[in-house]
Structures are given as C-alpha cells and as structure tokens.
Amino acid sequence: MANTRPLALRGLTTGFLAIWLIAALFPFAWTVWGSFKVEADFFSRESWWFAIEGTRTQAQTGGSFTLAGYEGAWIKNEFWKPVINTLIVTICVTCISLFVGTLGGYALARSGQRYAFWILIAALVFRAMPHITLVSGYLLPFFQLNIWGVLPTTIVVLVAINQPFTLWMLHSFFLSIPKDLDESALVDGCTRFQAFRMVIMPVMWPGVVTTGLFSFLLAYNDFAVTSMLLSQDNQTMIPKIASFLGSIQNEGNVMYAVAAVVSATVPLFVLVLFFQRQIVSGLTAGAVKG
C-alpha cells in the first residue's frame, strides 16, 4: 500500500510521540506520587530514587506512603473551606454565564444588524484584556461600595469576564442551528422567547454543555480575580494554594501545598476524562468556522 511509511519515519514518529506523552504526563504522575511522601523524599538532594521508593518516608512514618500532606492541608489548614468556596463560585459562574450567554449569543447569531457585528468585535477585544488590569479597576470602586471580599462580587465579576468568550462560543453554536427552526416556531405562534426556549434550546444543549465546560474551567483556573477580590476567609482553592506558598513553605510544610495542588488537579483530570470529546469540539468550534 502507498500509505505504509518507511521504518525510519515510523520510528521517529513513535519516538517523538512517546517523548511528548512523557513530557505531558510525567510532571503530574511525579507530583501525585510524591504527594504521598515526606518532604525529604519529595525534595531529595541525594537521589530521586528516594522519591520513588520513599526511603525517608519509611524512616519517618514507618510506611512507604503517608497521608501527612493531605492531613495537613485538609484538616490542619482547613483546605475544605476553599474547596467549598470554589464549588460555589464555579457552579454559580457556570450557570449564570450560560444563562446570560445563551440569551446574548442567540441574539447575536440571529441579528444580521451592524451593531451585532460591533458587539462581537468589542467582545473580541474584551476577551484579550488581561484580567489583572481589569481587577486594578475594580478594587477602588469595590472598596468604596463595600462589596469587596465576598463571593457574590467575585461571581459576578467572573461571569462578566467570561462573557466575551461565552458569547463568541455560543454564538457560533447558535449559527449552526438553521434559522428555519426559529422562524417555523414564530409562524406557528411562538413569541421570540418561546421560540428560544421551546425550540432552539432543546437542540442546543451539546453547545451549552461544551460552553459550560469552558466557563467552568475559566472560573476554576482563575487566579487574578479570585486572589485580589476575595478576603482571606472567602478564598477559593487557587489563591489559597498561592497563600500556602507564602506561609507554609517557610515553615517547612511544603508538602501541604503539594497535597493541595494534587487535590486541585484531580477534578480537572476527571473532567477531561469524561468530557474529552466536548473539550476538543469546543476548542475547534471557533477555529474551524473562523
């Protein structure tokens, strides 16, 4: 067959792919494994075999694995509090973003007017704004209004910051639904909103799920907004991890931070595991059409 490749090329391809996969996976595997060791193993000056076999861990705790890091993070440092905050923030941000975004994305997809185009362009520019520059604009007004530091403020801000992206993505999903469908509904007796709710949304849900995933990721991965807008008590996971570094690292309890980092990574892995197809389709949605 004409498609068989020369052996050398095949070897090269496989080798390259293997290197990439190791580069992609190894840091996570290493950190997860190491999170069950003591610091002297995780940061072993002598030999990285210590980290694999857990020599010091055995010496210090009696077993090759220890939950000391997780215990320190979750119980001593109450990591469960930021986890709950993260849960609240991400769920609220995702739901509100989707609600607001589907309405707006639908309007943008169905209006051929010039202003709809300009709103999309403005959204593109907003999408490129570094979040921290916006944050520096929030702080003073939020202090003045006395709404700094609480979860609702952060949720609303994250929803707004997510909007440009959400609008673009949903808009391109709505474009793929034929206009005939809305118009049938209008003629059959629906108002615009009924058509949107009864006819368009039921066929739109794959797009909504995909966009929801990305809204979730944006909220979950955010550091700039959550670290600046939340007070110490209301912190979510990522800023909490950052503040661990400041406080714990010096006290020699860096393993708490490692455990917290692993804890924050696991949900992401699960997400990719279950929604790989949607993530891939979402990433390519804008690209293939644009």
Residues 233-272 close enough to bind another protein by CB under 8 A:
238, 241-242, 245, 254, 257-258, 261, 264-265, 268-269, 271-272
Contact status: 73 vs another protein (CB under 8 A): no
Contact status: 147 vs another protein (CB under 8 A): no
Contact status: 28 vs another protein (CB under 8 A): yes
Is residue 120 a contact partner of residue 167, using CB atoms and an 8 Å limit? yes
Nearest residue (CB) to another protein, 66 versus 229? 229
Round to whole Å and give the CA distance between 273 and 284: 18
Nearest residue (CB) to another protein, 159 versus 230? 159
Contact status: 95 vs another protein (CB under 8 A): no
> Which of 37, 38, 42, 98 is close enough to bind another protein by CB under 8 A?
42
Round to whole Å and give the CA distance between 191 and 282: 30
CB of residue 21 to another protein, shortest distance in Å:
5
Query: Under DSSP, is residue 27 helix (H, G, I), strand (E, B) or coil?
Result: helix
Dihedral in degrees, nearest 10, Cα atoms 147, 150, 153, 154: 140
Strand partners, 216: none
> Which of 75, 84, 91, 129 is close enough to bind another protein by CB under 8 A?
129
> Which of 65, 76, 84, 111 is close enough to bind another protein by CB under 8 A?
111
Round to whole Å and give the CA distance between 121 and 192: 25
Contact status: 176 vs another protein (CB under 8 A): no
Contact status: 159 vs another protein (CB under 8 A): yes
Contact status: 8 vs another protein (CB under 8 A): no
CA-to-CA dists, residue 209 to 123, 166, 184, 267, angstroms: 21, 12, 25, 17
Contact status: 98 vs another protein (CB under 8 A): no
**CA-CA-CA-CA torsion sign (53, 58, 59, 61):** positive
Contact status: 13 vs another protein (CB under 8 A): yes
Contact status: 197 vs another protein (CB under 8 A): no
> Which of 60, 186, 206, 209 is close enough to bind another protein by CB under 8 A?
186
Contact status: 33 vs another protein (CB under 8 A): no
The stretch among 4-12, 56-64, 72-80, 87-95 that binds another protein (CB under 8 A) is: 4-12
DSSP string, 44-111: -SS-THHHHHTHHHHHHHSSS---HHHIIIIIIS-THHHHHHHHHHHHHHHHHHHHHHHHHHHHHHH-
> Which element (helix H / strand E) includes 233?
none
